[in-house]
Amino acid sequence: MSESSDKGVALEDYIAKTLRRKLGARVSRDKRSGAGSHQKLDINDFFMETPFDIEAKNQKKIAVLDWMRQAKSGASLSRIPTVVFQGDDDVLACIPFENLVDMAVEIRDLKAEIADLRRPIVLSVDEAVDKAVSLKMSAGVSECRNGHIVSPGSAKCLAKGCQYSSSYKAKKVKK
Protein backbone atom coordinates (compact mmCIF):
# COMPACT_ATOMS: atom_id res chain seq x y z
CA MET A 1 0.00 0.00 0.00
CA SER A 2 1.03 3.58 -0.52
CA GLU A 3 1.88 5.96 2.29
CA SER A 4 -1.34 7.93 1.78
CA SER A 5 -3.54 4.84 1.97
CA ASP A 6 -1.62 3.71 5.09
CA LYS A 7 -2.48 7.07 6.72
CA GLY A 8 -6.15 6.61 5.83
CA VAL A 9 -6.22 3.05 7.17
CA ALA A 10 -4.54 4.18 10.41
CA LEU A 11 -7.18 6.90 10.94
CA GLU A 12 -10.05 4.48 10.17
CA ASP A 13 -8.62 1.96 12.64
CA TYR A 14 -8.27 4.70 15.27
CA ILE A 15 -11.90 5.79 14.79
CA ALA A 16 -13.25 2.23 15.00
CA LYS A 17 -11.11 1.43 18.06
CA THR A 18 -12.25 4.61 19.86
CA LEU A 19 -15.94 3.91 19.15
CA ARG A 20 -15.56 0.33 20.38
CA ARG A 21 -13.69 1.37 23.53
CA LYS A 22 -15.80 4.36 24.55
CA LEU A 23 -19.27 3.32 23.33
CA GLY A 24 -18.97 -0.44 23.24
CA ALA A 25 -20.19 -0.26 19.63
CA ARG A 26 -19.51 -3.19 17.34
CA VAL A 27 -17.93 -1.18 14.54
CA SER A 28 -15.03 -1.92 12.25
CA ARG A 29 -13.11 -0.36 9.43
CA ASP A 30 -14.73 -1.17 6.09
CA LYS A 31 -11.93 -2.88 4.22
CA ARG A 32 -13.63 -2.10 0.89
CA SER A 33 -13.83 1.67 1.46
CA GLY A 34 -12.76 3.60 -1.59
CA ALA A 35 -13.03 0.54 -3.86
CA GLY A 36 -15.58 0.18 -6.64
CA SER A 37 -17.93 2.65 -8.22
CA HIS A 38 -20.69 2.86 -5.61
CA GLN A 39 -20.54 5.21 -2.65
CA LYS A 40 -19.78 3.69 0.74
CA LEU A 41 -18.43 4.98 4.01
CA ASP A 42 -15.25 4.10 5.87
CA ILE A 43 -16.60 2.74 9.17
CA ASN A 44 -18.93 -0.26 9.13
CA ASP A 45 -21.64 0.03 11.81
CA PHE A 46 -23.72 -2.99 10.81
CA PHE A 47 -25.70 -3.08 14.08
CA MET A 48 -26.30 0.72 14.00
CA GLU A 49 -25.05 1.19 17.55
CA THR A 50 -23.92 4.73 16.80
CA PRO A 51 -25.99 7.44 15.10
CA PHE A 52 -23.15 8.27 12.69
CA ASP A 53 -22.24 7.33 9.12
CA ILE A 54 -18.54 8.19 9.10
CA GLU A 55 -16.30 9.29 6.27
CA ALA A 56 -12.65 9.40 7.42
CA LYS A 57 -10.05 11.69 5.81
CA ASN A 58 -6.35 11.96 6.58
CA GLN A 59 -5.10 14.48 4.04
CA LYS A 60 -2.92 17.57 4.21
CA LYS A 61 -5.35 19.70 2.21
CA ILE A 62 -8.53 20.31 4.22
CA ALA A 63 -11.65 20.26 2.00
CA VAL A 64 -14.48 19.90 4.51
CA LEU A 65 -17.27 20.92 2.10
CA ASP A 66 -16.27 18.30 -0.48
CA TRP A 67 -15.87 15.67 2.23
CA MET A 68 -19.28 16.52 3.74
CA ARG A 69 -20.93 16.17 0.31
CA GLN A 70 -19.32 12.74 0.04
CA ALA A 71 -20.49 11.79 3.56
CA LYS A 72 -24.06 13.01 2.86
CA SER A 73 -24.24 11.07 -0.40
CA GLY A 74 -23.21 7.87 1.38
CA ALA A 75 -25.23 8.31 4.57
CA SER A 76 -28.38 6.32 5.27
CA LEU A 77 -31.67 7.94 6.22
CA SER A 78 -31.96 8.86 9.91
CA ARG A 79 -28.17 8.64 10.32
CA ILE A 80 -25.85 11.61 10.87
CA PRO A 81 -23.35 12.13 8.03
CA THR A 82 -20.03 12.69 9.79
CA VAL A 83 -16.60 13.61 8.50
CA VAL A 84 -13.73 12.66 10.81
CA PHE A 85 -10.37 14.06 9.77
CA GLN A 86 -6.82 14.38 11.03
CA GLY A 87 -5.78 18.00 11.49
CA ASP A 88 -2.20 18.53 12.67
CA ASP A 89 -2.21 16.59 15.96
CA ASP A 90 -5.98 16.53 16.50
CA VAL A 91 -8.67 14.23 15.19
CA LEU A 92 -11.72 16.39 14.48
CA ALA A 93 -15.30 15.65 13.47
CA CYS A 94 -17.71 17.68 11.38
CA ILE A 95 -21.49 17.14 11.37
CA PRO A 96 -24.37 19.22 9.98
CA PHE A 97 -25.48 21.96 12.38
CA GLU A 98 -29.10 20.68 12.51
CA ASN A 99 -27.86 17.30 13.75
CA LEU A 100 -25.73 19.01 16.40
CA VAL A 101 -28.75 20.96 17.67
CA ASP A 102 -30.90 17.79 17.66
CA MET A 103 -28.28 16.02 19.78
CA ALA A 104 -28.15 18.96 22.21
CA VAL A 105 -31.96 18.90 22.56
CA GLU A 106 -31.92 15.16 23.20
CA ILE A 107 -29.20 15.54 25.87
CA ARG A 108 -31.16 18.36 27.54
CA ASP A 109 -34.35 16.26 27.58
CA LEU A 110 -32.55 13.22 28.99
CA LYS A 111 -30.95 15.32 31.75
CA ALA A 112 -34.38 16.70 32.69
CA GLU A 113 -35.82 13.17 32.78
CA ILE A 114 -32.95 11.94 34.99
CA ALA A 115 -33.42 14.90 37.35
CA ASP A 116 -37.14 14.11 37.53
CA LEU A 117 -36.43 10.45 38.31
CA ARG A 118 -34.03 11.45 41.11
CA ARG A 119 -36.62 13.70 42.78
CA PRO A 120 -38.13 11.92 45.82
CA ILE A 121 -41.84 11.21 45.81
CA VAL A 122 -43.59 12.10 49.06
CA LEU A 123 -47.01 10.54 49.56
CA SER A 124 -49.40 10.57 52.48
CA VAL A 125 -50.27 7.21 54.00
CA ASP A 126 -53.65 7.17 52.28
CA GLU A 127 -52.09 8.02 48.89
CA ALA A 128 -49.46 5.30 49.33
CA VAL A 129 -52.10 2.69 50.21
CA ASP A 130 -54.29 3.72 47.28
CA LYS A 131 -51.33 3.58 44.90
CA ALA A 132 -50.23 0.14 46.19
CA VAL A 133 -53.76 -1.24 45.86
CA SER A 134 -54.15 0.14 42.33
CA LEU A 135 -50.76 -1.28 41.29
CA LYS A 136 -51.61 -4.66 42.77
CA MET A 137 -54.97 -4.77 41.01
CA SER A 138 -53.62 -3.55 37.66
CA ALA A 139 -50.91 -6.21 37.69
CA GLY A 140 -53.50 -8.99 38.00
CA VAL A 141 -52.16 -10.16 41.36
CA SER A 142 -54.44 -12.60 43.16
CA GLU A 143 -55.03 -12.49 46.90
CA CYS A 144 -55.83 -14.97 49.64
CA ARG A 145 -58.99 -14.59 51.77
CA ASN A 146 -57.04 -12.40 54.19
CA GLY A 147 -55.98 -9.98 51.41
CA HIS A 148 -52.33 -11.09 51.11
CA ILE A 149 -50.58 -11.78 47.81
CA VAL A 150 -50.84 -15.37 46.55
CA SER A 151 -47.94 -17.17 44.89
CA PRO A 152 -48.35 -17.23 41.08
CA GLY A 153 -49.59 -20.62 39.85
CA SER A 154 -50.49 -21.68 43.36
CA ALA A 155 -53.21 -21.06 45.89
CA LYS A 156 -50.73 -20.55 48.74
CA CYS A 157 -50.45 -17.20 50.48
CA LEU A 158 -46.98 -15.59 50.63
CA ALA A 159 -47.52 -13.88 54.03
CA LYS A 160 -45.85 -15.60 56.96
CA GLY A 161 -48.32 -16.54 59.63
CA CYS A 162 -51.38 -16.40 57.36
CA GLN A 163 -53.60 -19.46 57.72
CA TYR A 164 -53.59 -19.86 53.91
CA SER A 165 -49.77 -20.01 53.60
CA SER A 166 -47.88 -23.26 53.11
CA SER A 167 -45.86 -22.69 56.29
CA TYR A 168 -48.86 -22.03 58.55
CA LYS A 169 -49.23 -24.26 61.59
CA ALA A 170 -52.30 -23.88 63.71
CA LYS A 171 -51.68 -23.35 67.40
CA LYS A 172 -52.54 -26.34 69.49
CA VAL A 173 -55.32 -25.78 71.92
CA LYS A 174 -54.75 -27.22 75.40
CA LYS A 175 -57.62 -29.25 76.77
Whether the CB-CB separation of 163 and 146 falls below 8 Å is answered with: yes
pLDDT band at 156 (very low <50, low <70, confident <90, very high): confident
Residue 167: what residue type?
Answer: S
With a cut of 50, say whether residue 168 has pLDDT above it: yes
- Residues 6 or more apart in contact with residue 83 via CB below 8 angstroms: 54, 55, 56, 57, 64, 67, 68, 70, 71, 93, 94, 95
* Residues in a beta bridge with 84: 56, 93
- pLDDT at position 135: 73
pLDDT digits (tens, 9 = 90+) for 98-144: 999 999 999 999 999 999 999 998 888 888 878 877 776 666 677 88
What global pTM score does this model have? 0.65
Phi/psi region, residue 78 (left: phi>0; alpha: psi -120 to 50; beta: rest), is left
Q: What is the mean pLDDT of the chain?
A: 86
With a cut of 90, say whether residue 65 has pLDDT above it: yes
pLDDT band at 51 (very low <50, low <70, confident <90, very high): very high
With a cut of 70, say whether residue 38 has pLDDT above it: no
